[in-house]
Amino acid sequence: MTKEKIKNAIYTRRYIYNFHYHLIWVTKYRNQTFTTEVLSNEMKAILQQVADDNDIVIEKMEVMPDHIHMLISFPPSKAPASAIKALKGRSAYIFLQNHPEIRCSQYWGGHLWSPSYYM
């Protein structure tokens, strides 16, 4: 008996999955933070690093001046809220550590992202 494999599914030892989440989140107060290509590319690199550290696959990503679009996939053992928390929390921490001038001028409360997100 031969079983056909599901197209584009990821096979692991414990489960088979094909989850895709389209996430959109905005900067606090919709501030235009990523206005230069340097800042935009830096945020892309930070998000990729955080995703790699947390077993999250970024399939597509676009950094706009005041928001982020991402299409991600991760194993079913991870909750969607945990993946989003890791991406938003760690990326904000790293970015604001690298740019204290932005933290002082735009995000005096220390929060880069708005508390909500869309899936």
Q: Is residue 66 assigned to a domain?
A: yes
| Whether the Cβ atoms of residue 4 and residue 95 lie closer than 8 Å to each other | no
- The CATH number for 32's domain is 3.30.70.1290
DSSP symbol at 66: S
Boundaries of domain holding 94: 11-105
**Does any domain span residue 20?**
yes
In a domain, 88, yes or no: yes
Residue of 78, 80, 91, 89 lying closest to 115 (CA atoms): 89
**pLDDT tens column, 79-93:** 999 999 999 999 999
The answer to whether position 75 is within a domain reads yes
Is residue 113 domain-resident? no
Q: How many CB atoms lie within 10 A of CB 16?
A: 11
Report the alpha-carbon distance of residue 34 to residue 67 in Å, rounded. Answer: 9
pLDDT surpassing 90 at residue 110: no
Structural domain includes residue 112:
no
Domain count of the fold of the chain? 1
Q: Is 35 part of any domain?
A: yes
- pLDDT (tens digit, 9 = 90+) per residue, 6-61? 888 989 888 889 999 999 999 998 999 999 999 999 999 999 999 999 999 999 99
